Amino acid sequence: MFLICHNGEVLHFNGNFYYTRPANSIDYENMVDVDFFDKYNDFLKEDLYIYHDNFPELDCEFDIIGKAKGIYNNNTRAISFRNKEKKYLCLDNGVLSFSRDEANLWESFLPIDEKFFEKINHLFSNKWISKRTGQLFDGKQITFSNDFSLNIGNFSLDLRSQNIIDFKKYKFIGFHDSWKIEVFLLYNPLIYITAYSSKNVLSQLGLCVRSLRNFSNFGGKIVVMSDKDISVIREICQDDGISAIEVDNVNPKDFVGYVCSKFSLTNKNKYIGYQPIMYLDPDIIFSGDVNTILQEATLTEDICAPLEDFHRIQTHIPVGAGLIQLDALITSPYAAGFNGGTIVYPNVEEVKVIEFLNAARRTVTNIGEIFGRNFNAWADQEVINYLSVKFFNLNTSCLTKYAKYINKEIANIGDAAEFVHFWGHNSDTKVHLMNIYFNKIETMRKNDVL
């Protein structure tokens, strides 16, 4: 475990002299490893404060400059080191020495272990959204100030107030101005689409992916669940092989397999580390910046789907009415079901996401085994609407306002962040209408109309 100086730099020793390096470019081999850290980790500062106990002095030793006591400094809220001559260790102009009679900020250090550094470097390596403001921050722009603070935009996060448990893969808690809790969420989006054997379905996929790349400002990873290999998918999507497009090869045999394969996300490495994850049916075209939708969905921390506000969940079979009635669930006669062709998950390691996906897969299986594989005409959508009513309460407020054109008419081009789902047509007609719509958007963009 190691020492961060007041300016955010990490203390190093190369065998001859001490020096510092920024926390985002450390040299692990030369980092100063002070030997009291196993004991230091046994103390919880919060417990010591709550019970009004003193932080114990800890014995340690520095190469060349000798033995010292590690003492918690109440003024600087960090550790100061004092030798037997009662002098405090100071880093001054790159020189480390026991030379001060008093311990102030420059004579204080923050002990942090290797795991904590890994967490901090995870911040530097990714983009984050402020839960409070919705503002997006690039970790590469995070800087240190001279008071043990990380600066993220206008937020000043005091490392002395932080704990390793505050930093998780998809979310971290920061203490702004030392005590004000702020939440930041990972923004590393992935979109996945299911598309199998049918020529028309694959044509829809090509238009969907091209709309994401050409109209929607999406440069992130796209995964296609398909029985086709990557070369076929790239040709269909007019992909040059440079963009981040992958194939998740699965081989469903019938309609149930086609529509329920979307639930096969967990325990697959290609989906781990991404937030949010958006599922799309291939018969969807985006006409504006999809990041607007993805960032808003991220902030909800919910599983999100758009309402079919013209279909009542109590009576409309495709949105789960049959299963809801069979289970004798009571719903409002005005409640609408949601469309399963667009779903946004926080990430695939979130407990509620794992529970939802597992429940969907098991419910589909159990119903099929008892009532027959074709019992549910809309297998995926019926099941997840039923599960939402009974247990999961999917968020429908986030995406609904963007899915304005889920109907049987060719959509007019409206606000930049909306998308069109051509669900109300047969497969041939979908491709025809999607082509017309895609070409219309493309023409308007070339003419600077959209």
Domain boundaries defined on the chain: 2-112, 114-186, 190-446
Whole-number pLDDT of residue 335: 93
Whole-number pLDDT of residue 415: 46
Whole-number pLDDT of residue 336: 93
Q: How far is it, in rounded angstroms, from Cα 313 to Cα 410?
A: 25
Nearest to 284 by CA among 236, 224, 355, 212: 212
Residues written for the chain: 450
Contacts of 392 (CB under 8 A, 6+ apart): 303, 352, 355, 356, 359
The reply to whether 190-446 shares the fold of 2-112 is no
Second-level CATH architecture of 190-446 = Alpha-Beta Complex (3.90)
What type of residue is 74? N
Nearest to 236 by CA among 244, 283, 228: 228
Q: Would you list the DSSP string of 297-364?
A: HHHHTS-B--EEEEEETTT-GGGTHHHHHHTT----TTPEEE-TTEEEES-TTSHHHHHHHHHHHHHH
Q: Would you list the DSSP string of 179-204?
A: TEEEEEEE-B-EEEEE--S-HHHHHH
pTM of the shown model:
0.93
| Mean pLDDT, 10 residues at a time, the chain of 450 residues | 91 91 88 79 83 90 92 94 95 86 94 89 96 96 91 94 94 95 98 95 97 95 96 93 90 92 95 98 93 97 92 90 94 92 97 98 95 89 95 95 66 62 85 92 84
Whole-number pLDDT of residue 11: 94
CATH of 2-112 among 2.80.10.50, 3.40.50.1370, 3.40.50.720, 3.90.550.10: 2.80.10.50
For residue 63, what are its two tokens? 């190469």
Whole-number pLDDT of residue 374: 87
Q: How far is it, in rounded angstroms, from Cα 448 to Cα 450?
A: 6
